[in-house]
Copies of this chain bind each other. A is one copy, B any other.
Amino acid sequence: MKGFAMLGINKVGWIEKADPIAGPYDAIVKPIAVSPCTSDIHTVFEGALGERTDMVLGHEAIGEIVEVGSEVKDFKPGDRVIVPAITPDWRSKESAQGFSQHSCGMLAGWKFSNFKDGVFGELFHVNDADMNLAILPDGFSVDSAVMITDMVTTGFHGAELANIELGDQVAVIGIGPVGLMAVAGAGILGASRIFAVGSRAALIDAAKFYGATDIVNYKNGPIDEQIMEFTDGQGVDRVIIAGASPEIMKTAVKIVKPGGVVSNVNYYGEGDTIPIPRIDWGCGMAHKTIIGGLTPGGRDRMERLIKLVQSGRIDPSKLITHKFHGFKHVEEALLLMKDKQQDLIKPIVYVE
């Protein structure tokens, strides 16, 4: 089969690879639609995962099952499925303890384009199909379905980790697609005012669509000063970091109240450390919780997100700003994520 791969750091291209093989609990899927992710950019152009050679990229896809292993019960060839970016090993100590994302190792629930070939191939392999796939319901938006696999679940996880209480004021720092879903997630997890921190017009419009009540454009002055002014010097109850460099932690801790939470779903790709500001953290005693985590994945998570879309709580299809028809456009779509244009949120590639 063919796949669009990372050939090495800074190099991508189409390659020929052997077809994937399904173990007894697995499935082989051919993609219907895929989307590149900033993580793919980190992987290829920043070497975030370290050297990888000839590894097929991509971890956001919906597809059609072409083969299932002998022990798969709930799925069969021909089924159209949503494939989460994170496909844990459910038979693991970490899953039993509630952290399936880290099954068999920190972050190791993330397999596509990390430990094995990703979804930008003519076929791809899904471990433990019964636990990791979800049926794409009839009539469900393809665009929404692809967004669920990673952007929605990751952004919403930022809101979950923030442990929002009814009526909390929340700041979301970074309003790329994950940040936008953190805004939307905060709105359906109890937030009142949501301060969206960003600058691009397209993102600001989308942030308002997804429930932001106030916009903090960092081009207009320091984020912390603006937030403090908006909140009469009180700060916010929760901060969700969805994009920035390590230094952002100083701002996040500063603007959050004692008793508040700084939640992180941002991938930090550089620097040795992420700095907690000592004084603003109450010299260690301010009860400002700092928590960051990889999104959960798997079937139950996808089915919950499907129901949220069907119930009208969220319309993730609005994230998609650029549409490509034909698998060959994957490279073009990927490079869009690298050289972010003013009007870009997320591209999608319909395979056929």
* B-side contacts of A299, CB under 8 Å: 93, 96
What is the CA–CA distance of A189 and B304 in the complex, to the nearest angstrom? 14
- The answer to whether A192 and B292 touch (CB under 8 A), given A99-B287, A268-B284, is no
Binary per-residue interface labels of chain A (219-253) against chain B in the complex, 1 for a CB within 8 Å, 0 otherwise: 00000000000000000000001000010011000
What is the CA–CA distance of A95 and B249 in the complex, to the nearest angstrom? 26
Interface segment, A2-10, A61-69, A196-204, A305-313?
A: A305-313
* B-side contacts of A303, CB under 8 Å: 167
* B-side contacts of A283, CB under 8 Å: 48, 107, 267-269
Binary per-residue interface labels of chain A (267-308) against chain B in the complex, 1 for a CB within 8 Å, 0 otherwise: 111111111111001111111111111100011100111011
Any B CB within 8 A of the CB of A78: no
- The answer to whether A308 and B167 touch (CB under 8 A), given A276-B249, A285-B294, A291-B287, is yes
What is the CA–CA distance of A294 and B17 in the complex, to the nearest angstrom? 49
Among A100-130, those with CB < 8 Å from B are 100-102, 106-107, 128, 130
Considering the complex, give the chain B residue whose CB is closest to the CB of A303.
Answer: B167
> Can you offer 14 A-B residue contacts whose CB atoms are under 8 A?
A48-B283, A94-B258, A96-B298, A166-B304, A167-B304, A168-B304, A190-B190, A267-B284, A273-B275, A273-B277, A274-B278, A274-B281, A285-B294, A287-B292
Specify how many copies of this chain sit in the oligomer: 4
Any B CB within 8 A of the CB of A54: no
Chain A residues engaging chain B, CB cutoff 8 angstroms: 25, 48, 90-91, 93-102, 106-107, 128, 130-131, 156, 160, 165-169, 185, 187-194, 213, 241, 246, 249-250, 258-259, 264-278, 281-294, 298-300, 303-305, 307-308, 310-313
Cβ A276 vs Cβ B278 within 8 A: no
4 A-B pairs closest in CB distance: A167-B304, A192-B307, A273-B275, A102-B258
* B-side contacts of A131, CB under 8 Å: 91, 96
Cβ A273 vs Cβ B278 within 8 A: yes
* B-side contacts of A265, CB under 8 Å: 284-285
What is the CA–CA distance of A5 and B313 in the complex, to the nearest angstrom? 44
What is the CA–CA distance of A269 and B131 in the complex, to the nearest angstrom? 35
* B-side contacts of A241, CB under 8 Å: 284
* B-side contacts of A276, CB under 8 Å: 249, 273-276, 290
- The answer to whether A90 and B96 touch (CB under 8 A), given A268-B278, A276-B276, A284-B266, is yes
Cβ B259 vs Cβ A102 within 8 A: yes
* B-side contacts of A166, CB under 8 Å: 156, 160, 185, 189, 304, 308
Cβ B291 vs Cβ A273 within 8 A: no
* B-side contacts of A264, CB under 8 Å: 284-285
